[in-house]
Structure formats: C-alpha cells, structure tokens
Amino acid sequence: MAVKLPRKDVVVIGLGWAGSIIANELTDEGLDVVAIERGPWRDTARDFNIATAADELRYNQRQELMVRPAQNAITVRNNASQTALPMRNWGSFHPGNGTGGAGNHWAGITFRFGPDDFRLKSYLTEKYGAAAMPEELTLQDWGTDWAEMEPHYASFDRIAGISGKAGNLNGVIQEGGNPFEGPRSEEYPTKPMRQPYGPTLFAEAARKLGYKPFPVPSALLSEAYTNPLGVTMGPCTFCGFCTNYGCANYSKASAITTVLPALVRKSNFTAVTNSEVLRVTLDRSGTRATGVVYVDSSGQEWEQPADLVVVSAFTFENVRLMLLSGVGKPYDPATNSGSTGRNYCYQTANSVQMFFDDKNFNSFIGGGAVGMGIDEFNNDNFDHSGLGFFGGGSIRVTPIGAAPIGSRPTPPGTPRWGSKWKSETQKAYLSTMSIGCEASSYAIRGNYLSLDPTYKDRLGRPLLRVTFDFPENDLKMAQYCTSRVAEIARAMGPRQIVERPMKGHWNSVPYQSSHVVGGFVMGTDPTTSSVNKYLQAWDVPNLFVVGASAFPQNPGYNPTGTVGALAFKAADAIRTLYLKAPGALVPA
Amino acid sequence: MAALLAASGKAFGDVIRGTQPFSPFDYAPPETLPGGRWYFFSPDEARAVEAIVERLIPADDLSVSGKEAGCAEFIDRQLAGSYGSYERLYMQGPFQKGTPEQGDQSEFVPRARYRRGLAALDAWCRASHSKAFAELPGETRDEILSGLEAGKIELPGFDGRLLFETVLGNTMEGFFADPIYGGNKDMVSWKMLGFPGARYDYRDYVERHNEKLDLPPLSIAGRPEWKTRG
C-alpha cells in the first residue's frame, strides 16, 4: 500500500537531459518541483573518476553506466507473427540509468533537425506528389515548424556549450559550416574541435568531389566554457574513452555537467533517486493526472500527488509508463487505431570501411563527436525523383576511440583466432578508418511498441515489447547512400574498401545506435498522435511527455539536440501558456 | 538543512536537496581480485582453459600466447565476480531459442557455461581421442576448436558452439583489457597494436597526422617502472 506524501506543484520523472532542463526551467518559475529518478545520483568524481575512467572492460563490455537489464529490460521481435523474447543484455542500443541518463555515455553529436523534417509528410507530398509516397510509409507532420523550434535549439546549444561552425546564420550561408542546416539565430557557443587525421583526409576527398564538409557539431567542448547557469566545463582531451563512458574531464555536456549542479542548489527542488515510478495516477474521469506512485530501493511504495506531471524518461520507459498508466489508447497495427505505441522508429546505420597500407590514423585518439561530415545525401538535400525511396543520412568520419576489445578491424574473411588472426589484427589496427552514414528511419504500420504478454520486470510489471524491422524504403535508401559514401572512400585511395549498407532484418545483437524514437508522438491529430506541439498529452492536459518518444519518424541525424530543444519548448509552453490558463493548449 | 533532510529523507527514497551528494576521495573502484590463485576453476578446468586460450592466441613473433598473457586467470576472476552469475542481466524465463536476431537466449550463466561446457568437452575428447582436451597436441586442439566454432562437433550435454563463443569472447576480453583484471600481462597486446592504454589526454597529438607516435602504454595501475627504483 502506497504511503501518500505532501502535494507538490510538479513531479518530473527521470533526470536525464529532458527532465533536468524542464525541472530547472519550472523551478525558475517558482514552482516546487520533485524529480524521481530510477537510478543513482551520478557524480563525475565518483562514477567516472579520472584514475579509473579509461576502462573498456567495465564501461564498454560490462555496460556499467547502462540500466541493468535485471532492473528493466525489453522484449524484441521483427514482426507480429513472432514471439518476442527478452533482450537479456543490451545490444542494439544502450539505455542509461541514474542522473544524466543516457546523456552521460552518449557520443555527443548534436545536430538540429532540418526545417522540412517537422512537416515531412506535407513537404514530400507538396514536392513529389502523393502518388510518389511509398505505400508502406506512415509519415506524419510534427505539428510544429522551424520558426517555433529554433529558439529552443539555441537554448539547448547554450546550456550544453556545443562546439561547431554555423553554416547558415539568419539565412546567410557561412563558409566552413553545414550549408544545409536551417537558419540559426546565433553562432555555436564554442569553436569547432581540432581534427585527427581520418576526418581531415575525408574532408579533403569530399571537398575535391564538390561536397561541403563541416565539423560535426559536438557536445564535447573544444574549450573551457561557462554556461548561462554558471556551470563551467573543460576542454575535451580526445582521450578516446567517450561513447559508452562518462567523461572524467567535465568536457562532455550532460545534465550532470551542465544543469544539475545549479538545479540541486535551489530550495524549491528535490531529487529522489533509486526510486522507480510505477505509474502516473489519473482521476476518475481519466482526464486529469493526480501524481505518480513510485517504489524506493527498500521496496516501499509512495504516492506523490502533484498538479503537473512531466514524464521525461528514455523513449522506452516513457511509452511503457503511458501504457501501464492507461494514458491514450494502445496502438493496434491490425486495425491501425490507437496512438500509444505508434510510429516507433530507429536509425539506419551504414558504413564503409577502408584498409590502407601507407597511413597511420592513430585511431585511439578521438571522441564520440570529434569528426567531419557532409550533408549532401541527408533527408531531402538531394533530389529523390524516381529513386523509389525517401530519406537519407548524415555522412561522417568520427573516430570515437579504438580501445581494442571492441575495436579490432580486419578485412572480411580473416579468421577469428590463431596466428593469421593476430597478424591481420596487428596490421590493420592503426591503418584502418571508416566513414559512417547515420541514416533516417521512417514509420510503417507494423513497427510499434506494446506491453509484452509474457515477460515481467522485477516488480511484476510487463516489459515493453518492441516490434520492428527495417522498412523496404529504408533498405533502398541505405543501399543508395552507402554507394555514394563508397565513391568518397575510393577517392581516398585505400587498398581495400568494404561497404556495409544496412541489409536484411533488424538484428538486436550488434550495437547500432541508441536512437529509438516514437511511440508517444507529437502531431496535430489526436487519433494519430499522443501529444500536441507543446508535448502536452491530448487526453490529459496536466501531463507532459517529453523526449524522443515524441518523434513521429527519425531523420538522418542524432536525436539528442532535438530532445533538448523539445524540453525547452515544453517548459516554455508551461511557463508562458499553461500556468496562466491551465487546460488544453491546443483544442483536440 | 540539507543534512537533516538527507537523514530523515531516507524514509521516502534517496532524497537529494541543497547540495550534490559529493564526498572528497569517494569513488567507485573497478571490481578486481588479486592474483596467485584460482577462484572458480578446478585444477582440471584451469588446465583445459589454458589449453584453449594458448591455441586461440598462439605465441609467435608478435606476442606471447593467451595462456602466458593471463587470459585463463582473467576468465577465472570474471567468473568469480558479478559477470559470472549474470546478476545484472535479464535472466527470467521462459527460455526459448528464438531467431538469430533475438540474440543469446541461453538459460546458462557464464559459470554454468564453463562448468558444464568444459566437462562436456573433456568427455567428448576422452571418447574420441582417449585423452582430456589439455593433453592433446596443439594441432588436434585447433581441429577441435574449429569443429566447435563451425558447429560440426556435438558435445554430450552442452552446446559446443555456445561454449566456443563464450570462451572466444572472454579470451579476447582478457587479452585486450586493462591488466588490472588479470590478463594482458605487461600490456603485451597493447604494445603489439600500438594502443597507448589508459592515457587520458591527446591534445598534443591530435593534429600530428599520419605519424607513428610510439607512445608507451599505460595501465590504470600505472607502468612497471613506476614501481622500481631508478
């Protein structure tokens, strides 16, 4: 039986990027905020101490910073005819745990989505005609646009101190930046990162082919930076223990290095850690959230009443909590009805690997977001007429570090052990590089999230079930874009290139990206979306659900910059609209 | 105020208010065990694992063998720790085989994989070669390992391929991980590759393009010469 606690103005679920930003904005408004986090409080000195942070076995192999599957797992299958089985260890993606969330061990690549992405269905229909749309796709508009999003992207960039070079300042194209980005209102807060050899070589080859390479926008800072909250970060040292690791240098922007040190000092903020929210409680009418019920680490249940509930966990947990709480109607692919669980998308990861005889990349030098990219083959930056698919990808070289348990490239056909394995491994270690293509993932009717009928978590609640396979559209796109990448690779003159477009079924085993999106999506129509453009639940106006769960499909960009922008957008709507007139901000 | 709340706050979760819960010198160390003994393997199991890892990573002019690099000790200590019981992983049933895309669905945790798998391997070797695996010549061991890898050898009572994949994965972890875990003795694999290990600052090197840097590797535990008088 849950013990009832005194009422709060706001309860926030999860203290990753989205929850920390919103909690900070709402405490600025004078509201009394409690945030509930299922994992521990993370501290750089304790959790990623510089004496022991460079530990591949602990952080990469044993996944120290990720949520333990024993606490919270998912089940997976490729289609509805299969029985979903648990992902017993994280493979394809790496959900985080504790304050900072997956934002502690992320790579730090911080793109903004393109202006057309927010009205993708309308844009493609206007340009190519409804008949050109592949029948399988269920694309949707977000219900917002670039003009509404840009100020919030700028807020996120300033909080995180993002390093980069603008390509479009107030509509004027800038030399050295990404000419395809939407018009920015201001330059990046910190200058671009210096570049190792691989990205430089790629940029030269791309430039010769007529492309416009730019430094990848990075949450690993190029220089010391103090953000608007007065929190200071240090410069990245290119240590190469970055993606899947916490940063011991306070160089990688995360909620714990940018927001929480300021937020925790406020008298109207409380964090409750090691406590897992079981459900959002609704009143009898089902149209008003009354608070949350959570369980602490001793197993005691508590009811936390609140006037406003903000759900800002990882995509999977946002959607599972809505299904467990009975918010919205569960999506059913058979009847194409319901919205909770709808439009689940991923990212389509492709790469081209290059083996050289005469180059030394010192590939242990790097970081998750250190690199150079081009955007000529992303989204609709190239003409899709007659191609038979839509979408594209961000093409780039980002050497993330090459700790050798996980990073041992060898040419195809190399044995996996023995003397030949060893000599090929030694030969390729410093002289191999690859170009990645992080590509779009578009929605289809059969890809969705639901509650698993069989498998339960340690508290007896159903696991979230992921039903996903790559759409034909995305596999065609992968083939096309990877061929373009291979042309650049050939121009770099390697001994051998290996093209790896995404092919076949989605495989849950190898890591691809943690860019899981959708399931509780933004939109204009309550029958096909769950939240309005302010991230406010259609059915429950005092409930805001914020995160990549709101993306109706995923462009060829990393999602975190947009998650941060949506957090600022939701907070702004609460501050400037909702508090003045609590109720639905968009008529249903 | 913060201390009072922290003390009374235990009653409704781990409550943090006012300041970050930071204590100087508080850090979460890696999970390591001292050397010089076997923690999990019986003497026969240790011999069998050493006989495997010295074939997976043979001694040649590039490095010592996986056995000499300490891969068996590494695996033994991993099995004794939290990895050995998969305590962090989702291990609730029902266990079903599933599709290749659904990944490892075995009900056996690493300790059981080694205990049952090595017993099955020795039983198979005694039946077909009249000797335990560790007593067979190197070439024969290679043939058996290849047979397990290809799924051509069926062990009595355990999935040979699962045993092979588990041992191969753990052997590579041991050979390339930081030496604090018992393998990669003298940072042998890092010297072989040119990987500088636990260094944490390449600002002076990031723009030295296409240059062989020859940086001596560094372990979390330092370098051997740090502990010898100059």
pLDDT digits (tens, 9 = 90+) for A36-82: 999 999 999 999 999 999 999 999 999 999 999 999 999 999 999 99
Q: Which residues in chain A have their CB less than 8 angstroms from residue B31's CB? A: 58
- Bridge-partner residues for A434, per DSSP? A353
- The answer to whether the Cβ–Cβ distance between A404 and B203 falls below 8 Å is no
Q: Give the CATH number for residue A315.
A: 3.50.50.60
Query: A265 and A380, same structural domain?
Result: no
Q: Do A89 and B104 touch (CB under 8 A)?
A: yes
Tell me whether residue B4 is in a domain: no
Considering the domain architecture, whether residues A271 and A396 belong to the same structural domain is answered as no
Among chain B residues, the shortest Cα distance to A198 is held by B209
In a domain, A293, yes or no: yes
Q: Hey, are the CB atoms on B27 and A83 less than 8 Å from each other?
A: no
Does one domain contain both A62 and A90? yes
What residue ranges in A171-288 does DSSP mark as E strands?
172-173, 214-215, 225-226, 232-233, 269-273, 276-282
Domain-located, residue A245: no
Element (H, E) at B4: helix B2-9
Question: Which active-site residues of A does the annotation give?
Answer: 515
Tell me if chain A has a CB within 8 Å of the CB of B16. Answer: yes
Tokens found for residue A311: 């759900």
Indicate the pLDDT class of residue B27, thresholds 50, 70 and 90: confident
* Pairing mode of beta strands A372-374, A232-233: unpaired
Backbone angles phi, psi at B148, to 5 degrees: -70, -45
Same domain for A323 and A372, yes or no, is no
At residue B25, the pLDDT reads: 81
- B31-to-A11, A569, A586, B34, B41 alpha-carbon distances in Å: 36, 42, 53, 10, 19
Q: Looking at the complex, does the CB of residue A49 fall below 8 Å from at least one CB of chain B? A: yes
Domain assignment present for B176? yes
SS3 A457: coil
pLDDT confidence of residue B9: 44
Is B9 inside a domain boundary?
no
Give a yes or no: residue A106 inside a domain.
Answer: yes
Whether residue A88 sits in one domain with residue A58:
yes
- Contact residues on chain A for B226, CB-CB shorter than 8 A: none
Contact with chain A for residue B14, Cβ under 8 A: yes
Q: Which domain holds residue A367?
A: 191-216+348-439+471-504
Has residue B59 been placed in a domain?
A: yes
Question: Is A375 part of the contact surface with chain B (CB cutoff 8 Å)?
Answer: no
Q: Give the pLDDT confidence score for residue A537 in this predicted structure.
A: 98
**Best of A13, A33, A38, A57 to mutate (most B CBs within 10 Å, chain B):** A57
Distance, in angstroms, between B79 CA and closest chain A CA? 13
Q: Indicate the burial class of B139 (C-beta count within 10 angstroms; 0-12, 13-18, 19 or more).
A: exposed
pLDDT the model gives residue B22? 81
- Residue A196 and residue B206: Cβ atoms within 8 Å? yes
Q: Which residues of A touch B57 (CB under 8 A)?
A: 417, 422
Domain contains B122: yes
Report the pLDDT averaged over residues A476-494.
Answer: 98
The beta-carbon neighbor of B102 closest among A36, A361, A508 is A508
Q: Does one domain contain both A548 and A457?
A: yes
The residue count for chain B: 230
Say yes or no for a CB contact (<8 Å) between A404 and B193: yes
Which of B21, B87, B99 is closest, CB to CB, to A41?
B21
**Do A141 and A284 sit in the same domain of this protein?**
yes
Residue B163 lies in a domain: yes
CA-based torsion, A485, A487, A489, A491: positive or negative: negative
Same domain flag for A378 and A465: no
What per-residue string of b and e applies to B37-76 under the rule 16 or more CB within 10 Å gives b? eeebbeeebbbbbbbbbbbbbbeeebbbbbbbbbbbbbbb
B92 interaction partners in chain A (CB closer than 8 Å): 86, 455-456
The answer to whether the Cβ–Cβ distance between B202 and A55 falls below 8 Å is no
What is the chain B residue with the closest CA to A506?
Answer: B101
Residue B11 pLDDT: 57
* DSSP structure class, residue A330: B
Rounded to whole angstroms, what are the CA distances from A103 to A65, A165, A515, B66, B139? 10, 22, 12, 37, 49
**Which residues form the domain of B190?**
43-89+103-227
Q: How many Å lie between the alpha carbon of B126 and the closest alpha carbon of chain A?
A: 24
Residue A452 lies in a domain: yes
Element (H, E) at A76: strand A74-77
Question: Taking CB atoms and an 8 Å cutoff, what residues of chain B touch A239?
Answer: 199-202
Hey, is the C-beta of A403 within 8 angstroms of any chain B C-beta?
yes
Number of domains chain A is built from:
2
Does A204 share its domain with A283?
no
Among chain B residues, the shortest Cα distance to A62 is held by B83
Whether the ω angle into residue A189 lies within 30 degrees of 0, i.e. cis, is: no
In a domain, A223, yes or no: no
- Report if residue A374 sits inside a domain: yes
Contact state of A249 with B200 under an 8 Å Cβ cutoff: yes
In a domain, B214, yes or no: yes
**For A218-243, b where at least 16 C-beta lie within 10 A, e where not — what string?**
bbbbbeebebebebebebbbbbbbbb
pLDDT digits (tens, 9 = 90+) for A146-199: 999 999 999 999 999 999 999 999 999 999 999 999 999 999 999 999 999 999
Chain A, chain B: beta-carbon pairs less than 8 Å apart = 241
Confidence at residue A258, expressed as pLDDT on a 0 to 100 scale? 98
Residues A5 and A125 in one domain: yes
Inter-chain touch B177–A56, beta carbons under 8 Å: yes
pLDDT tens digit string along A516-546?
999 999 999 999 999 999 999 999 999 999 9
Paired sense of beta strands A301-311 and A289-295, if any: antiparallel
Q: Give the model's confidence band at B6: pLDDT under 50 very low, under 70 low, under 90 confident, else very high.
A: very low
The total domain count for chain B is: 1
Residue B184 in contact with partner chain A when CB distance is under 8 A:
no
Cα–Cα dist B68/B189, whole Å: 12
Residue A40 has what DSSP assignment? P
Q: Does A257 lie at the interface with B, CB-CB under 8 angstroms? A: no
| A185 within domain boundaries | no
B88 at A interface, C-beta within 8 A: yes
pLDDT classification of A566: cutoffs 50, 70, 90? very high
Q: Which tokens hold the place of A417?
A: 């052990």
* CB contacts, 8 Å: B17 with chain A: 264, 269-271
As a whole number, the mean pLDDT across chain A is 97
Is residue B79 one of the residues assigned to a domain?
yes
Contact B189/A274, CB-based, under 8 Å? no
A492/A460 same-domain check: no
- Sheet of A496-500, strand order: A214-215, A372-374, A393-397, A432-439, A348-355, A496-500
Over the stretch A273-329, which tens digit does the pLDDT of each residue have? 999 999 999 999 999 999 999 999 999 999 999 999 999 999 999 999 999 999 999
Note whether A528 and A140 are within 8 A (CB): yes
Burial of B225 (0-12, 13-18, 19+ CB in 10 A): exposed
Question: pLDDT grade, residue B230 (50/70/90)?
Answer: low
Q: Are residues A282 and A261 part of one domain?
A: yes
Cα distance between residue A214 and residue A426, in whole Å: 32
Strand partners, A310: A12, A544
Site of tokens 């390992």: B145
User: Where does the pLDDT of residue A125 fall: very low under 50, low under 70, confident under 90, or very high at 90 and above?
Assistant: very high
Which residue, among A347, A373, A314, has the nearest Cα to A111 in the 3D structure? A373
Classify residue B196 as exposed, middle or buried by CB count within 10 Å of its CB (0-12, 13-18, 19+). buried
Is position A244 within any domain?
no
Q: Say what the pLDDT of residue B5 is.
A: 42
pLDDT in tens, A386-440: 999 999 999 999 999 999 999 999 999 999 999 999 999 999 999 999 999 999 9
SS3 per residue for A41-71: CCCHHHHCCCCCCCCHHHHHHCCCCECCCCC
Choose the closest CB to B16 out of A41, A58, A359: A41
Q: How confident is the model at residue B33 (pLDDT cuts 50, 70, 90)?
A: very high
